[in-house]
Amino acid sequence: GAVVSQHPSRVICKSGTSVKIECRSLDFQATTMFWYRQFPKQSLMLMATSNEGSKATYEQGVEKDKFLINHASLTLSTLTVTSAHPEDSSFYICSAPLRSGTSGGVPKPTYEQYFGPGTRLTVT
């Protein structure tokens, strides 16, 4: 099956520094990737859609200057948390969609999400 990796899995940084998180699709190409932030009590918040070769699309309320996204190639997207603060501490997850083909023999484009294992960011 399709695999998405994330690096690092855990990072601790000091307030005011920047942290880069990498998301890679290992065995398929992903022109689009998604970045999520997961809060306590498990809810997932979509932060932005990363697009290869163009600017990321940010969800309302997400600061684009703080959460820099770069989709450098068809297999790599990076999220940089700039000037991190303790309130940025969270679990960050990326995903990449992969198309699956048919429904009962009839072509119906359906996209499954393949998720990275997540990055636990702690800002002290």
Partner 1 sequence: GNSVTQMEGPVTLSEEAFLTINCTYTATGYPSLFWYVQYPGEGLQLLLKATKADDKGSNKGFEATYRKETTSFHLEKGSVQVSDSAVYFCALTLGGSYIPTFGRGTSLIVHP
Q: Do residues 38 and 91 make contact, with C-beta atoms less than 8 angstroms apart?
A: yes
Q: How far is CA 101 from CA 62, 74, 96, 98, 114, in A?
A: 33, 21, 16, 10, 16
Q: Mark the segment that binds partner 1 (CB under 8 A) among 14-22, 61-69, 70-78, 100-108.
A: 100-108
One-letter amino acid for residue 55 of the chain: K
By CB under 8 A, tell whether 122 contacts partner 1: no
Q: How far is the CB of 73 from partner 1 (least distance, A)?
A: 18
Among 35, 97, 121, 123, contact with partner 1 (rule: CB under 8 A): 97
- CB closer to partner 1 out of 31 and 124: 31
Q: Do residues 42 and 59 make contact, with C-beta atoms less than 8 angstroms apart?
A: no
By CB under 8 A, tell whether 115 contacts partner 1: yes
> What's the CA gap between 106 and 99, in Å, rounded?
14
- CB closer to partner 1 out of 60 and 65: 60
Q: Do residues 6 and 96 make contact, with C-beta atoms less than 8 angstroms apart?
A: no
By CB under 8 A, tell whether 116 contacts partner 1: yes
Binding region for partner 1 (CB under 8 A): 4, 6, 32, 34, 42-44, 49, 93, 95, 97, 99, 103-104, 108-118
